[in-house]
Amino acid sequence: MGPLLGVLALAALLSPGRACPAPCSCSPKKNGRLLAECAYRELRDVPRGLSPNVTILTLSANRLGRLGRAALAEVPELQSLWLGYNHISAVEPGAFAALPHLKNLDLSHNRLADFPWQDLRNLSALQILKLSNNRLGAVPRGALAGLRQLRSLWLNDNELATLARGTFEGLPALAQLQLFHNPFNCSCKLFWLKEWAHGTSVVISRAGSTLCAAPARLRGRPVTDIPGELCVPPSAQLTYLSGPGDGLTLTLHCSVAGSPPPEIRWRIRTAARRLDIHGPTVARDGGAKAGRRRVLAFKNGTVAIPDFGKEDEGTYTCLAVNDVGERDVSVNVALAGSANPAAEELPRDDPQAGQPGGHRCSKGDELDPSGMGEKLVIVYRLPGEARSGAGARQFRLGILPLALGLLLW
């Protein structure tokens, strides 16, 4: 069969008209469209010699195994490409990118474990994408973004265990989605899908057959039924821990809740540096180098900056992250010292400013009761006596938090 087809293809290539390769039959359609019908021909490759005017190409039920980058280069006007029921296991990136008018792409019932997702960026006219009955194990984050005409998406009968949050965002025309028969892992990473499914107007075909394969206790349960109490988005609260006896150490504590238990990260932004701390760490390298100070981040959610100075002023943000979501809460920390006369002029008996000794921001004071991420300010003031008396490094009781809890916005 192979050699015969080769001869046919060659014949097509050499034939004078070159409008329709021998294995296919071509016929004009309404609106000047041209159909090339090449289905059920046992073809192993896309036939050569297609007219550049072909707008509909059916290659379904052949034996195509691989699509090279240039496989469709002859037909840049394609609007519909039917490739279902082949043996396609690989598509070289770029094969579809040159088809900017493509509206319908059917690759269902093939052997694709991967897909050139980046090609979709060029397919802004795409309305129907059928990738069902393949071996796809993942849809990369953002892969579908930009398909503003996409109405129907078939991803059923693949090997998808999870989908990234937001996979179906940015698809304003999406009306129908098929996800059933995938081995979904209903961990909290997939919880967004349940919430999205409940809120969207997209019709999810056979949602009742879109089932969890894992974990064991949820096996066989629809994805839209993942129990809410298992997956709780993080909440975070920032409290101020420094007090007399801590010297010039700024100590903040971030207490978090959620399910699964959130991981705590810190984001520190000062004029001179940007520091991101993922997980507990005790930074090396003490105060030796100017501008680089030790930040001690403990596993329990406490962060301490010893020898807090002007260069440490900035925004301290605690991020609580789990599979369901992320929450952040920030505090601005400023130091009122001789270098900052304006801050020093804050009235001492301002009720907002608190008593000498810092009662208003005593240990454990909550900086962000709502946990909604408003920014608050702590202004420290170096007490005059200490400044005039002892050396700068000896304020054992040195920091008087002067004003706390000024809501900025």
> At closest approach, how far in Å is the CB of 19 from ligand NAG?
5
- Tell me which residues in 183-212 interact with ligand NAG (CB under 6 A): 185, 187, 189
Per-residue binder mask for ligand NAG (CB under 6 A), 95-114, x = binder:
--xx----------------
How many angstroms separate the most distant Cα atoms in the chain?
A: 102
Told to check if 19 binds ligand NAG by CB under 6 A, we report yes
Per-residue binder mask for ligand NAG (CB under 6 A), 113-152, x = binder:
---------x------------------------------
List phi, psi (to 5°) of 386.
Answer: -65, -40
Q: Which is nearer to ligand NAG, 212 or 403 (CB)?
A: 212
- Tell me which residues in 214-243 interact with ligand NAG (CB under 6 A): 214
Spatial neighbors of 288 by CB under 8 A, at least 6 apart, are: none
> At closest approach, how far in Å is the CB of 183 from ligand NAG?
8
Told to check if 39 binds ligand NAG by CB under 6 A, we report no
Q: Are strands 302-305 and 314-321 parallel, antiparallel or unpaired?
A: unpaired
The pair of structure tokens assigned to 285 is 């390298």
Per-residue binder mask for ligand NAG (CB under 6 A), 283-302, x = binder:
---------------x-x-x
The pair of structure tokens assigned to 244 is 């007399």
Residue 330, CA distances (Å) to 269, 312, 399 in order: 11, 15, 21
Contact 182, 157 (CB under 8 A): yes
Told to check if 94 binds ligand NAG by CB under 6 A, we report yes
Strand, coil or helix: 185:
strand
The pair of structure tokens assigned to 152 is 């129907």
Contact 236, 366 (CB under 8 A): no
Nearest one of 37, 357, 324, 85 to 190, comparing CA atoms = 324
Sequence letter at residue 263: E
Q: Which is nearer to ligand NAG, 238 or 334 (CB)?
A: 238
**Listed ranges 37-45, 181-189, 220-228, 339-347: which one lies at the site for ligand NAG (CB under 6 A):** 181-189
> At closest approach, how far in Å is the CB of 68 from ligand NAG?
13
The binding site for ligand NAG (CB under 6 A) comprises 19, 51, 53, 94, 97-98, 122, 161, 185, 187, 189, 214, 253, 298, 300, 302
